[in-house]
Structure 1
Amino acid sequence: MQEASFLSQTLSVLSLLVFSGFSYILSKKINFPYTVLLVIVGILLIPVSNLPFFAFLDDFVLTPDVLFYIFLPILLFESAYNIKYKQLISNWKSISILSVVGLLISSFVIAFLLFWIFPILGLEIPFLACLLFGSLISATDPVAVLSIFKKLGAPRRLTIIFEGESLFNDGTAVALFTVILGIIISGGNFDSTTFASGVWKFASMVFGGMIFGFLTGFIFSQVIGKVTNNEEVEIVLTMLLAHFTFILSELITHFFHFLPISGVISTVVASLVIGNYGRYKITPKVEAHMQKFWEFFAFISNSLIFILLGLWMSKINLNFSDFVLPITVVIIVVMIARAISVYLPIFSLNKSGLEERIPASWMHLLSWGSLRGALALIMVLLIPDDLSIVGWSLPYSIKDFLLLITISCICFTLFVKAVTTPFVMKFFGVDKLNKLEKFEYEEGKILASLKILQKLNSSYDKGYLTFVEYDELKDRYSARLHESTKEMKSLLKEDSTHEDLVKKVISLHSLGIEKQYLKELFYYNEIDERSFKYILRRIEKQIERLEQGKEQLRKISGAKLDYDIFTRFLVKSYLKKSNYVDCYIRNRSRVIITRKVIKELKNLKEIDFGFNNKYFDEIIELYTTFNKNAENKKTEIFKTHRATINALESRLVNKSLLKLEEKIVDDLYSKEMITPKLYLKFIEEIENEMYADVKTII
């Protein structure tokens, strides 16, 4: 029987994943939110699972422990891994006020309103039960909304605020939920001692979680840095980090009651540390696959959770039709609480002037786009089946009632809010392109059309196209090129400050080229991690300056950039420890990347974009100066340390040759001119030499 049960559960999981896969494909075709479609599919599977032949479909049950300790760390880690801490720091006031103050406001508004309204509906619900529900339903789930934001092109800052709030209010919600649940389990007595204990527990979970997450993230980053060029081990270590941090936090809370730590917050912070500090300790080739790895596991987790959410509808002990009015009231109250928790804190923040103003249209979207999902469901399932509160006299359990209204709220946000969010974005004009984006859009179309025309000419010359085919395609893309150039000129004519806009676009493009080639140097280990980060920070700071409307710095060397306190500490630490070898590698890298920028800008200068090419000359002149300065410093170091630099340069040039060797080996293998065994041997030899630290050899 046990073996049959295991087989049926396995078959259930595999079948649900098959349904999820086809649901994903369908969601792409009909342009419909994937998570919403999964819930619909889950509901449709209810009658199917009642048939004897398909009874196995609902055999797999996601228990609260599996959800909390296995799937939740995966979802948290994947969400935080790609967030840049600089963007969080730039918007920390708005994110903090929404994720902490906003969540507390939402939780208590829901609790007080429901405690006041429920008796009118004939339901005597104790205040602590209302507050418990308020804490768990105030946690937002950004999965569906962020995919919509990405598709429609929401402003980057709005996306960061939305995602940052969701990540940290998850931790705040779990901390508040845990405190309230603990009070209920201990008897529900609420006095000054209980209040003080609750405040301490909440603060300890939030701040203790941040400290513990930082420590585990830092330790694992160091460990990953020691096992470079071991793909499987590096990926497994990140998986271990997510679950180790979460589970150890919960164990500390269990054994040391006086010092509780939030597993949610610690996992989020650990992910931020590994995603920002530890990212470049990961072997570059592995890092390219890391994001796909976490996206895959997050996809599996979300797929199972949301499709089972639909199937769970049939397992709730209460009948939805008997609670239509209470459910409607709860949904309205939750919406009101969310609106208050967004408008009130952000309005106060805008008035204070402590952070860049958040437009009213963004506030509307933050209020409407707040979906509920996996975490709310996980928390309600963590409530003990036999939980009791003084004053609860209804014929059903607290858990069944809260599960009913929680799933109802989740379904409303998925079926109504998620589906209508694109229309809300368009109504408030949040999806509109700004001047810079319009310019870059037309620039991209011009470049694409030119590349296609060049390819057409090449294909025709080689005889791949007939004259009729060539002539038809050439006319089509020539017309597209003419239209884009015309549109570009129209944009520039409408904008009185078009000179600044053109300079800004060219400067941003130049900095993008710098980043691209700097990362390529790092990928092939021609620059060490610390020097790479030093240059990358300066490039990103230049980009940030341009986005803030400031000019690109004319002089990089010795320039004091307004870094945040954390970056200032890292930069000072690096400069204090760096020697002439580090300085040579930095300037060599600058020579290479500035040379690449100059070359690409000269090519772009030959293209008719509809504006005067003198703007290219100005930026080319700037990068020529950068190139000469770096070359001069490189030469000075060479004169002083000739023998050492000769040896270093020999190693660095050899790494450039290894790039070519790797491409040749890949080409031979793809043509099946060498066996897999030989291919692996070649690659291992190349990588061992490529990832050797040139500075330790000297």
Structure 2
Amino acid sequence: MFPLLYLMTIILVISLIGLLAAKIAESVNIPTTVPLILIGILMRLIVDRLGITELIEFANLFINSGILFIMLVSVLFLSGLETELGDLKRVAKLALMLGTVSVLLTVIFTGVLMYIGLPLLGMEIPFMIALFIGVMIAPTDPASTFIILERTRVRKYIKDVIMNAAAIDDVIVTILATLLTLMLTAETVSLEALVIKAVWMPVGGIAIGVLIAYIFSYLMVYVFKREVELQIASLAALALTFGLAELTDASGPMAAIFAGIIMANSKYFSKYLPVISAKNRRMLLTFWRNIIFFLEAIVFIFLGLSVDIDLLMDVGLLGLLVGAIVLFIAKPLSTLLTTEGFGISPRESFFISWARINLSTSAVLLAFAYAAGEWMQLVINITFLVIVVNTLIQGLTVGKVAKILGLEVAEEDIELVVKREKLLTIIRVISEHRDKGLIDRQLANNIIDEYMSELEMLETQISAKISSLEDTIEGLRARIAALDAAVERLKRLKEADPATSSIVDEEISSILREKRDLESELKRLLVDKRRMEELIGGVHG
């Protein structure tokens, strides 16, 4: 084993490598964790060649030390801090469906298809193990998804749905992993015990998260004033949250995310707890994003370093097949079924499934892999292959898929909606302050009137764009109708004078080609018009 000084040096050097990997990932628009894992695998190849077994032993010890659980609750705590309840209201129902029902269906579809399909490749696995693998690769990684969506020009409603669903499904999948672990490891487990645990884990987690957020909101407002004090307090809050959850068998991830949500949105609960200022919230967000980056830089390189390359290659084809099942069948189908009735088109449904990247959370869930017993190595290798390959495919193609599906929003339209949302936020905040007596009512009304005038001008601009699109659409429809009439006339001419048949057929073919081009343009303009109407409506229509 290496001396402590050498171990610290290794960790710091790996952190530097992680920083360089992040810059590479940023340049090619993929999640940071992908190059981190690949660097870890490359290091494993080099270490194997040099015979440095101590480093591999340390990597395995590090990964199995509980660091994965620490990273999971840290990621979910950050997800809670990033959640804006004002945005969540618009997408709450759909995000909840995607984060619960959709992820459950994904697990079931993946497990069933693996159980049925793998024997065709000469491998049979127990159904519970197939479901267990489904749980490992079902969640969405909020951090990686945010990085990708930030550079993708789709409307904000879709982004908000995906991001809020990601935070929810991480918690649900963690609970599923815990329950499956109990079923796989316990000699006997009653249905009653499973039901009680399934209910207590989320309920107890929420209660603990709310309690800790309540206590530390007071401390952060009335006791701790300096940035370093607030940062240490937030670390203590998360540690206490997770510790209490573990002691009471509640869900630590659920407690972590609700603690973050309540602390970040204390303004919505001002009757019950003090409000953490927007400045301090931004500071905490920056602090926790830096912590997550540091954890990722170390954990994912060590994760790649701990992988047995020979065993990984043995399941290469199998892993690719499972990845294809998840990417092209399980997720799209579960998303399509879940979004039914929410006004989401099939194209948007497919994009939502494609943009839900499973990376960090899936890797962290490998901490549960011991429950698979003799199948543990298979679970680890398949999960590892799926998260690396699928993340590369999705990360590099999300923008292209949005464009192919016709879901990209023009830059100028994005600017319009961003400006509109800023105005609405300002108006809402001033109205709240006026109603609480924090600002003179007459002054507030005058300011609101000014912003309302600006908002009306902006919406008039959007309406003018819609009217212009409608005029163009009507012109295209009239042109298409005229072409249809011309085709009918030519057909009658052909019937009346068969000698003109070849000339008429050529002319009809030319007209039909023009008609197809016009119909394609009409379809594009109708999509643009619908988007603009959604922008001015502020919600998904």
TM range (shorter): 0.7 to 0.9
Q: 1:160, 1:178 → 2: CA distance?
A: 28
Q: 1:21, 1:227 → 2: CA distance?
A: 35
Offset at 1:275? 0.6
- Which sits farther off after the overlay, 198-207 or 364-373? 198-207
CA-to-aligned-CA distance 1:474-507 (integer Å, 9 cap, x gap): xxxxxxxxxxxxxxxxxxxxxxxxxxxxxxx6x7
The answer on whether the counterparts of 2:77 and 2:260 sit within 8 Å (CA) in structure 1 is: yes
* Residue 325 (structure 2) pairs with residue 333 (structure 1): yes
- Match 2:301 to one of 300, 307, 329: 307
Q: 2:396, 2:390 → 1: CA distance?
A: 9
- Which sits farther off after the overlay, 278-287 or 38-47? 278-287
The match for 1:107 is 107
Q: 1:405 to 1:200 in 2, by over 3 A?
A: same
Alignment of 1:574-593 (within 5 A): 583=437, 585-587=438-440, 591=443
- Secondary structure of 1:345's partner? helix
Q: 2:201, 2:286 → 1: CA distance?
A: 31
The match for 1:319 is 311
- Which sits farther off after the overlay, 51-60 or 266-275? 51-60
Alignment of 1:498-517 (within 5 A): 514=426
The one-letter code of the counterpart of 2:322 is V
Q: What stretches of structure 1 of length at least 5 have no aligned partner?
A: 254-260, 351-356, 389-396, 442-504, 516-534, 541-555, 558-574, 576-582, 613-698
Q: 1:421, 1:144 → 2: CA distance?
A: 12
The answer on whether the counterparts of 1:40 and 1:310 sit within 8 Å (CA) in structure 2 is: yes
Q: 1:412 to 1:537 in 2, by over 3 A?
A: farther
- Match 2:407 to one of 430, 438, 458: 430
Q: 2:317, 2:422 → 1: CA distance?
A: 57
The answer on whether the counterparts of 1:9 and 1:60 sit within 8 Å (CA) in structure 2 is: no
* Residue 359 (structure 2) pairs with residue 364 (structure 1): no
Superposition TM-score, scaled by structure 1 size: 0.58
CA-to-aligned-CA distance 1:542-581 (integer Å, 9 cap, x gap): xxxxxxxxxxxxxx87xxxxxxxxxxxxxxxxx6xxxxxx
Q: 1:39 to 1:179 in 2, by over 3 A?
A: same
The one-letter code of the counterpart of 1:339 is P
The answer on whether the counterparts of 1:229 and 1:283 sit within 8 Å (CA) in structure 2 is: no
CA-to-aligned-CA distance 1:445-481 (integer Å, 9 cap, x gap): xxxxxxxxxxxxxxxxxxxxxxxxxxxxxxxxxxxxx
Offset at 1:325? 3.4
- Match 1:214 to one of 200, 210, 224: 210
The match for 1:413 is 390
Alignment of 1:23-422 (within 5 A): 23-50=21-48, 52=50, 59-61=58-60, 62-187=62-187, 194-253=190-249, 261-277=250-266, 281-282=275-276, 286-313=280-307, 315=308, 319-335=311-327, 336-347=329-340, 349-350=341-342, 357-384=343-370, 388=373, 397-422=374-399
Q: 2:94, 2:410 → 1: CA distance?
A: 24
CA-to-aligned-CA distance 1:395-420 (integer Å, 9 cap, x gap): xx211110011101111212212111
Q: 1:511 to 1:195 in 2, by over 3 A?
A: closer
Q: 1:26 to 1:508 in 2, by over 3 A?
A: closer
Q: 1:405 to 1:202 in 2, by over 3 A?
A: same
The one-letter code of the counterpart of 2:324 is I
The answer on whether the counterparts of 1:510 and 1:601 sit within 8 Å (CA) in structure 2 is: no
Question: How many positions carry a matched residue from both structures?
Answer: 453
Q: 1:593, 1:510 → 2: CA distance?
A: 15
Q: 1:94, 1:121 → 2: CA distance?
A: 37
Alignment of 1:559-578 (within 5 A): none
The match for 1:459 is none
- Secondary structure of 1:16's partner? helix
The one-letter code of the counterpart of 1:381 is A
Q: 2:102, 2:157 → 1: CA distance?
A: 19
The answer on whether the counterparts of 1:510 and 1:597 sit within 8 Å (CA) in structure 2 is: no
Offset at 1:262? 1.0
- Match 1:19 to one of 13, 17, 20: 17
The answer on whether the counterparts of 1:36 and 1:415 sit within 8 Å (CA) in structure 2 is: yes
The answer on whether the counterparts of 1:228 and 1:234 sit within 8 Å (CA) in structure 2 is: yes
Q: 2:449, 2:39 → 1: CA distance?
A: 51
CA-to-aligned-CA distance 1:341-392 (integer Å, 9 cap, x gap): 2111111x33xxxxxx22333211121122222222222233337x54xxxx
The answer on whether the counterparts of 2:177 and 2:368 sit within 8 Å (CA) in structure 1 is: no
Q: 2:31, 2:63 → 1: CA distance?
A: 26
Q: 1:364, 1:17 → 2: CA distance?
A: 36
Q: 1:596 to 1:57 in 2, by over 3 A?
A: farther
The answer on whether the counterparts of 1:213 and 1:267 sit within 8 Å (CA) in structure 2 is: yes
- Secondary structure of 1:170's partner? helix
Alignment of 1:605-684 (within 5 A): none
Q: CA RMSD in A?
A: 3.6
The answer on whether the counterparts of 2:59 and 2:306 sit within 8 Å (CA) in structure 1 is: no
Q: 1:69, 1:275 → 2: CA distance?
A: 22
Q: 1:234, 1:75 → 2: CA distance?
A: 18
The answer on whether the counterparts of 1:139 and 1:372 sit within 8 Å (CA) in structure 2 is: yes
The answer on whether the counterparts of 1:140 and 1:372 sit within 8 Å (CA) in structure 2 is: yes
Superposition TM-score, scaled by structure 2 size: 0.74
- Secondary structure of 2:181's partner? helix
The match for 2:488 is none
* Residue 431 (structure 2) pairs with residue 538 (structure 1): yes
Q: 2:99, 2:117 → 1: CA distance?
A: 26
- Secondary structure of 1:118's partner? helix
Offset at 1:18? 1.0
Structure 1 or 2: more helix by fraction: 2
CA-to-aligned-CA distance 1:278-334 (integer Å, 9 cap, x gap): 797336654442221111111112222333333233x36x52333333223322222
Q: 1:424 to 1:306 in 2, by over 3 A?
A: farther
Q: What stretches of structure 2 of length at least 5 have no aligned partner?
A: 269-273, 462-541
Decide which structure has the larger Cα Rg and report it: 1
- Secondary structure of 2:4's partner? helix
The match for 1:579 is none
Q: 1:421, 1:538 → 2: CA distance?
A: 39
CA-to-aligned-CA distance 1:12-57 (integer Å, 9 cap, x gap): 2111111111122233344444332223322332333346598876
The one-letter code of the counterpart of 1:183 is M
The answer on whether the counterparts of 2:423 and 2:451 sit within 8 Å (CA) in structure 1 is: no
The answer on whether the counterparts of 1:77 and 1:268 sit within 8 Å (CA) in structure 2 is: yes
Q: 2:15, 2:300 → 1: CA distance?
A: 11
The answer on whether the counterparts of 1:228 and 1:282 sit within 8 Å (CA) in structure 2 is: no
The one-letter code of the counterpart of 1:344 is L
